Structure 1
Amino acid sequence: MIALAHAQQNPVKNIKGRVAIDFSDPAHINVINVRTERFAVTDGDGYFTIQAAENDTLMFSAINIKPFRMAIACEDMENETMYVKLQSVVTQLNEVVIMNYPGINAVSLGIIPAGQKKYTPAERRLKTATGADAQIGLDTKFSIDPLLNAISGRTAVLRKALETEKKENWLQRIQYLYDDNFLLQKLKIPFDYIKGFQYFLVENQRFLNTLASKNTSMSDFIVGELATEFIKNIANEKK
């Protein structure tokens, strides 16, 4: 059985840094601590301050630079200022990759108040199809749409679409937390079976529950268990 566990947490401190970019403005660069999801934004001179510990990974991203990751080393914790060299993007973008950071959202940025119900696109479509908010007559609120949708089967289709959307969101999160190199080198998943293993994880409710609770150590442990089970299944199929 493969068992994964994070090392004991190192002391956390405010790290001061400065980014440098050739031919580009160093302001408004997003700096994200991948482990804690804390974030900062560089000022006009490229300076930033962020809480981190040794071995944490910082991600730097903006529309004018190439995404860059760096691990916090011991000397970074001791130096007064950490300097980071970034590469600017000088060619036209053909693709935009949107990364999902659960800790960075409209609430944390102060755009919407905390506690407000949030709906995904599939949830909004389902709510509209099953709601009762259309007005009939002068003072009666009732909608026949939910009844018609139920009869036509549209509601069932929307519920299925909602489940598909949830699985796609889980898949994106899994692909971010456990990239291909990790699956190949650490878990020994054969290259041709990586996508299959990712879907295998999506179907395991116990694993999804640990992700939802942000229990990283338990998530890593369960991934190791499921990797062992998955590899055994592959071996049995080849017999």
Structure 2
Amino acid sequence: MKIKITLQLMFLFLMHAALGQGVIIKEMKGRIFADSVAVDKVNIVNFTTQKATVSDAQGNFILSLKTGDIIVFSAVNLETLRRKVTDQDLLQEILQVVMHPKSIILKEVLINESAITAESLGIIPYGQKKYTAAERKLYTATSGGGIDGLLNSVSGRKAMLKKEIIVEKKVQLLARMDVLYEEQYYLETLKIPLDYIKGFQYYCIDDADFANALIAKNKTLTLFLVVKLAENYKQIIAVENK
């Protein structure tokens, strides 16, 4: 029995020695680059041995490595890199490591509408009236005077352009409503049937108080008015469906 146990221990010892042969541990020098520039303060961790170091101002580091080790490179402004050490890596005099800058995704970009304007950029003088496309057409048709102004009046062009301005303003107000209120708000909060939502929007912008509040971007007032208008509109729907 003692001889058997001794032989088993010798066998395990020989297996351990055999497995240990050929494993090369090297004090490896390395250098880290990002966009062809050496990077300092990168954390380098040998995940296999739990040994760690940090790159210097020239991107250099020294770490004990062997084939098969998993190395993790990380920094605040760089994408984390995992690398498995190969036999070829250990043959190099300096291990070259290339990392990539992190891509920062902006969730939301807010633009101060009052900060960047044609006036602040010096394109037009402060206080000058700004015309929409339809208003510019009407101004051109009516400011010429003489025979051109008379012809425009006789042909009805001025009346047509005035109607175009009204339509343009309504389109702008509808666009603002689409930004302010989602479909679920009409359905769940205001209880407006799906087929009547577009009609309700036109009903709202025809209300002078609501239109003015919308133009002034007074969200508090528009929320107050839209609830009142919704109640009135639902009564109209109820009468129509009798």
Aligning the two structures, in what range does the TM-score lie when normalised by the shorter sequence?
0.5 to 0.7
Classify 1:124/1:109 alpha carbon distance in 2 versus 1 (closer, same or farther; 3 Å): same
TM-score normalized with structure 1 length: 0.52
Amino acid corresponding to residue 31 of structure 1 in structure 2: V
Quick check: 1:161 aligned with 2:164? yes
TM-superposed deviation, 1:28: 9.0
Unaligned runs of 5+ in 1: 1-17, 33-37, 40-101, 133-141
- 1:144 match: secondary structure: helix
Quick check: 1:179 aligned with 2:179? no
Matched-pair identity in %? 42
Q: How do 1:53-132 and structure 2 match up within 5 A?
A: 103=114, 106-107=117-118, 110=121, 112=123, 113-132=125-144
Query: Does the Cα contact within 8 Å between 2:173 and 2:215 map onto a contact in 1?
Result: no
The answer to which structure has the higher helix fraction is 2
What is the RMSD of the two structures over their aligned residues, measured on CA atoms? 3.1
Q: How do 1:5-24 and structure 2 match up within 5 A?
A: none
Q: How do 1:191-206 and structure 2 match up within 5 A?
A: 191-206=194-209
Residues of 1 paired with 2:237 and 2:116: CA distance? 40
TM-superposed deviation, 1:104: 6.6
- 2:235 match: secondary structure: helix
TM-superposed deviation, 1:105: 5.2
TM-superposed deviation, 1:219: 1.2
Query: Does the Cα contact within 8 Å between 1:184 and 1:190 map onto a contact in 2?
Result: yes
Aligned residues: 143
TM-superposed deviation, 1:207: 0.8
TM-superposed deviation, 1:151: 0.7
Residues of 2 paired with 1:28 and 1:173: CA distance? 24
Classify 1:117/1:194 alpha carbon distance in 2 versus 1 (closer, same or farther; 3 Å): same
CA offsets 1:44-87 (integer angstroms, 9 cap, x no match): xxxxxxxxxxxxxxxxxxxxxxxxxxxxxxxxxxxxxxxxxxxx
TM-superposed deviation, 1:152: 0.9
Classify 1:189/1:103 alpha carbon distance in 2 versus 1 (closer, same or farther; 3 Å): farther
- 1:166 match: secondary structure: helix
TM-superposed deviation, 1:236: 1.4
1:151 corresponds to: 154
Q: How do 1:6-45 and structure 2 match up within 5 A?
A: 26=104, 31-32=109-110, 39=112
Greater RCO between the two (CA within 8 Å, min separation 6)?
A: 1
CA offsets 1:179-237 (integer angstroms, 9 cap, x no match): 21211121111011110101111111111122233332121111000001111111111
Query: Does the Cα contact within 8 Å between 1:129 and 1:155 map onto a contact in 2?
Result: yes
Residues of 1 paired with 2:162 and 2:181: CA distance? 29
Classify 1:29/1:114 alpha carbon distance in 2 versus 1 (closer, same or farther; 3 Å): farther
Query: Does the Cα contact within 8 Å between 1:207 and 1:222 map onto a contact in 2?
Result: yes
Query: Does the Cα contact within 8 Å between 1:171 and 1:199 map onto a contact in 2?
Result: yes
Structure 1 runs (4+) deviating above 6 angstroms are 27-30
**Larger Cα Rg: Structure 1 or Structure 2?**
2
Residues of 2 paired with 1:126 and 1:108: CA distance? 23
Residues of 1 paired with 2:115 and 2:177: CA distance? 17
Residues of 2 paired with 1:27 and 1:111: CA distance? 33
- 2:109 match: secondary structure: strand
Unaligned runs of 5+ in 2: 1-76, 80-101
